[in-house]
Chains A and B, each alone.
Chain A
Amino acid sequence: MLFNSLGFAIFLPIVFIIYWLTNNKLILQNVILLAASCFFYACWDPRFLLLLLFSILLDYFSALKIAETEAGGKRLFWLWLSISINLGFLMVFKYYNFFAGSFASAAGQLGWYVDVWTLKVILPVGISFYTFHGLSYIIDVYKRRIAPERNFVDYALFVSFFPLLVAGPIERATHLLPQIKKPRVFEYKNAIDGLRQILWGLFKKIVIADSCASYVNFIFNDPGSYSGSSHVLAAVFFAVQIYCDFSGYSDIALGTARLLGIDLLRNFAFPYFSRDIAEFWRRWHISLSSWFRDYVYIPLGGSRGGRGKTIRNVFIIFLISGLWHGANWTFVFWGLLNALYILPSVFFKTNRDHLDIVAQGKMLPSIREFFSMAITFALTVFAWIFFRSDNLASAFVFIKKIFSRSLFSMPSTAYLNVSFILPLAAFFVIEWMGREEQYAIAKLEIKWPKPVRYAAYYALFFYVIYYSSGVAQQFIYFQF
């Protein structure tokens, strides 16, 4: 069940009404949300539920075992049991075929022909996300940051809460569990805010991301066949597409959770208005970046062990981040490229230069800020080429074409809907105007008079309906 489908438009109001009819009774609220989450997940494939249930049971009991003993060895045993089984599942479902294929290919290059056995399995939706939920919980219990959750329903809900189940944000037990433990009380302002964020998420996904997708697919599916300028346009459109697709999903997830009285972690903070790559990574997929920082980078020593160790840790983080996105060398290359981008700022300790919001309190950025943003955007667009390409060879063909003479010709307009330029321009203006908020239209009710506000809501609705294609388009991050 996709967030941008008719099914979800029916499912959510039903859950919302039943949930708030509980009169703030905690047990009922959590049972209803858990049942709704199971139904939501089973809509993809009921068999996936078993895997999810196994993962939940494993982490639930491992955490209890860790907490009931003080013996370091036993605690470590249960921690590693949970981590290895969780990562084992992830490896089997997501990476086995990739590594087996790569091994066979490498062996073939050396003249050894290896007939590897490949798995014919479907990747369970959201496995990367709920595995990371479970891992953060078990590590936090081991590190004694939190006490283990003894109520199974509460823990199961923490992992499987439907707004975040399939594509995040990757929650922390320290943030979400306390909210699950308290009865939620309906707040009008929160609910309205949730609806507003859902609307903005739908606009980003359906109007902007899906419109960009047709042109992006057209060029990326046949790299090298069109002009260099068409390739540049496709790469820029993909940058816009992936941002609107994923942040649109996150907005719908956050808005849905807020409708149910729960606050989820923010996942995006206007990353394309970043002045350097380090700032970009603080603003892009925040819940994953901070997860890697807290559970991989810092335990590896972070930047405390000299330059050599810092460089190693940065590369490890981005390599894992690339692989997390998918079993393909394109993702590995994308991760390594970002590591190279960020390295100078880590080296010269300028990676925390831009902790504020660009041009805060001002209408326009300074010329320096503008160029910093433009360069950062260009670098990310270049890296996205690897992310989007089917394989490394296609990515290099794509890049080669960009740097050809045809870069200065008119781009192909096939599959380019000209009427989409207006909402695209409006989107950038609104995002810029709202960059100091949690999401772009968060303060619409304060800033604009009621008639104008309602007209804006209806206009967004109109665009969402106008651009929705009838068949809901999959979110890019569902494949990860």
Chain B
Amino acid sequence: MKRFVRRSLLFALPLILVLFFFELFLRKMDTSYKIKREQVASAGRDAEVLILGNSHAARLDPREFSQNAFNLAQVNQSLYYDKRIALKYLDQMKKLKYVLISVDFHSLYFSDEGDRNIWTYYGYGIDYKDPVPFPEKVSYLAGYKPKFLLEFMKRSLTGKYKVIRGLELEEAADLSQPIVKGFVPYTDTSNLSDTYTRERADFFNKIVRTSDERKEILADLDGFIADLKARNIVPILITLPCYAPYRGLLDKKVLEQNRADILALSKKYGVSYWDYFTMSLSPDCYLNCDHLNAKGSVIVSDTLSRDLERLDQVRGGESLSVR
């Protein structure tokens, strides 16, 4: 028995040391969540415009806005988290005038971010409906999948991430530039393959068709808008552009339902809905079928900025603007 215990411990010792090293590495690692949290608590305090949403809205560049903007959007971030993250920092953002809430094809049909629930928890300390399990709360090693851990280590060791520090980013992130005002810069690459476009549309169509969350998410969003209005902050609902052939593959009934739902909210609270979904952009503005690249990001951010300026000018009359 003693021999067994001794040998088992000896065998396990290198593993325990490696695991301990991994835990330390993960705790010290900078993620885009951590950086955004740090930035929103400093630079974000002076923001007049707050951008929320998933990876579509994450492409909106605050530097292109004439107003002081800050981007808190994140890959796969659901409206559930948009609301809770924003509410956590709103009190500190004394100059905030507008909150841009990105509502895309599937936004009203999902709240669970999967793997990213725990990343969001580590970043902002916000739990999902089913709280994060205890082992994952206390150990980053239990929370991050080993696959991600090794990917982080690989990226860290290659030295590519010296400037940009968020390690869990998509491949198209521009590693030569830092994260500024919560914005992760992206490269100008473009991949609009038919197969990927079809698979992506299939993926989202499946999400919306199998979801039963729409009513709950709409009610949550309704509460968020009411909350913002009560704080004298103007919420603006936006839908960002997608590549035309991809749009054609999305479930039309869902698109109609989305528009009806958003317009109903817009009418109820007298808030603007700016629909850029069918905005005319050349294919080289897209990274892929539903994401803008650097070029597209500049164009759409600039358009949004100008629309905000126009709204700023007519505000006071509380215009209801639906594009």
A residues with CB within 8 A of B: 6, 20, 186, 188, 191-192, 195, 221-222, 225, 412, 414, 454, 457-458, 461, 465-471
Contact = CB atoms under 8 A, between A and B. Distances in A.
A467 B147 CA distance: 7
Interface string B4-40: 1000100100110000000000000000000000000
B13 to A, nearest CB: 12
A470 B4 contact: no
B146 A465 contact: yes
B248 to A, nearest CB: 17
Given A192-B4, A195-B8, A470 B206 contact: no
24 contacts: A6-B135, A6-B142, A188-B1, A191-B4, A192-B4, A195-B8, A221-B206, A222-B202, A222-B206, A225-B202, A457-B11, A458-B14, A458-B15, A461-B15, A466-B147, A466-B150, A467-B147, A468-B145, A468-B146, A469-B145, A470-B142, A470-B145, A470-B146, A471-B133
Interface residues of B, number: 22
Contacts of B145: 468-470
Contact of A186 (B1, B15, B199): B1
B144 A470 contact: yes
A183 to B, nearest CB: 14
A466 B145 CA distance: 8
6 nearest interchain CB pairs? A466-B146, A186-B1, A470-B145, A191-B4, A465-B146, A6-B135
A6 B138 CA distance: 13
Contact of B199 (A191, A414, A467): A414
Nearest to B139: A6
A244 B142 CA distance: 24
B75 to A, nearest CB: 18
Contacts of B115: 470
Given A458-B14, A467-B147, A470-B143, 5 more contacts: A186-B1, A188-B3, A469-B145, A470-B136, A470-B144
Interface in B131-166: 133, 135-136, 142-147, 150
Nearest to A463: B146
Given A222-B206, A412-B199, A188 B4 contact: yes
A186, A468, A470: residue with the most chain B Cβ atoms closer than 10 Å:
A470
A150 to B, nearest CB: 31
Contacts of A470: 115, 118, 136, 142-146
Contacts of B15: 458, 461
Contacts of B11: 454, 457
Nearest to A464: B146
B96 to A, nearest CB: 36
Contacts of B118: 470
A15 to B, nearest CB: 14
B146 A467 contact: yes
Contact of B4 (A186, A454, A461): A186
Nearest to B148: A470
B200 to A, nearest CB: 9
A192 B115 CA distance: 35
